Amino acid sequence: MTHVPTVTLANGLPMPLLGFGVFQVPDPAECEQAVYDALIAGYRLIDTAAAYQNEEAVGSAIARSGIPRGELFITSKLWVQDTSYEAAKTAYQVSLDKLKLDYLDLYLIHQPYNDVYGAWRAFEELYNQGRVRAIGVSNQTSGRLVDLCLNNRISPMINQIELHPFHQQHTAVDVMREYGVQPEAWAPFAEGRQDLFTNAVLHKIGGQYGKTAAQVVLRWHIQRGVIAIPKSVHAERIRENFDIFDFELSDQDMEAIRALDEEKGLFVQHEDPQIVKQLNSWKIHN
């Protein structure tokens, strides 16, 4: 079995640099099969969220795999409606029950809205009680992240943000490094936008190693020290995305990919008032 390299979080916990995400896989049977296929392929980091409405399917795949719990690294996230002190504690237990687990390895505040500070107090308590092994945030801008680090007993250990070759977030990553926060990329393939999978630069680099553009992108993330959580529902693609540990990008390759950076996001603009309103109005059923 291929050993996935890990990164050490601020609290000393090792976390795999490559994982499997399940955003936009709402069908229970499809999600369970995809997660099962990923676990069999060798993935041990699985990333879900209350808002994805598929925690139960993820839990079923974990149970079906028979892989010892201690070998897994399971992440879930708290949605906006529950981002407050009391609601966060309740929502955590709901997620845990759906996943059929006794603890989470990582719990994230999904969006930078509602009572983030109140929720973070609950996160600190869950962490201190040993009910979650690491705590962090998602979609926090650099300024908000620094504020959280400066004004809490425990700083976020992860910030999961949009990060891919077209939006490389160099400044944001530098800030995270300064404060001991590990960067994690959602949409590591930019969901295929900007024709990423057929990009000439990525295709040419891959040709040197007998790899696809997608494999080059995942290797690029890992060599930057950024955790990546690609998603697929196709077993062959799931295995292909895992097959990135037998080659290494050169400095020249890394510079060529750096030149693809457009320095702007392709998805949710978290400071847009309409986006804030939209995400605050989206309620999930616990």
Which positions are annotated as active-site residues? Answer: 52
Contact 8, 34 (CB under 8 A): no
Any long-range contacts for 9-14 (C-beta under 8 Å, 24+ apart)? 9/134, 9/157, 9/158, 9/182, 10/155, 10/157, 10/180, 10/181, 10/182, 11/134, 11/157, 13/105, 13/133, 13/134, 13/157
- Residues whose CB falls within 8 Å of the CB of residue 281, separated by 6 or more in sequence, listed in order: none
Structure token pair of residue 129: 């009680």
Pairwise CA distance, residues 127 & 241, whole Å: 32
Task: Tell me the residue type at 111.
Answer: Q
- DSSP β-bridge partners for residue 167: 164
Contact 244, 18 (CB under 8 A): yes
Contact 20, 37 (CB under 8 A): no
Contact 135, 123 (CB under 8 A): yes
Residue where the block lists tokens 């425990």: 154
Neighbours of 79 (CB within 10 A): 24
Question: Which residue in 11, 243, 34 sits closest to 132, CA to CA?
Answer: 11
Structure token pair of residue 104: 């989470």
Pairwise CA distance, residues 117 & 156, whole Å: 12
DSSP 218: H
- DSSP β-bridge partners for residue 228: 18, 185
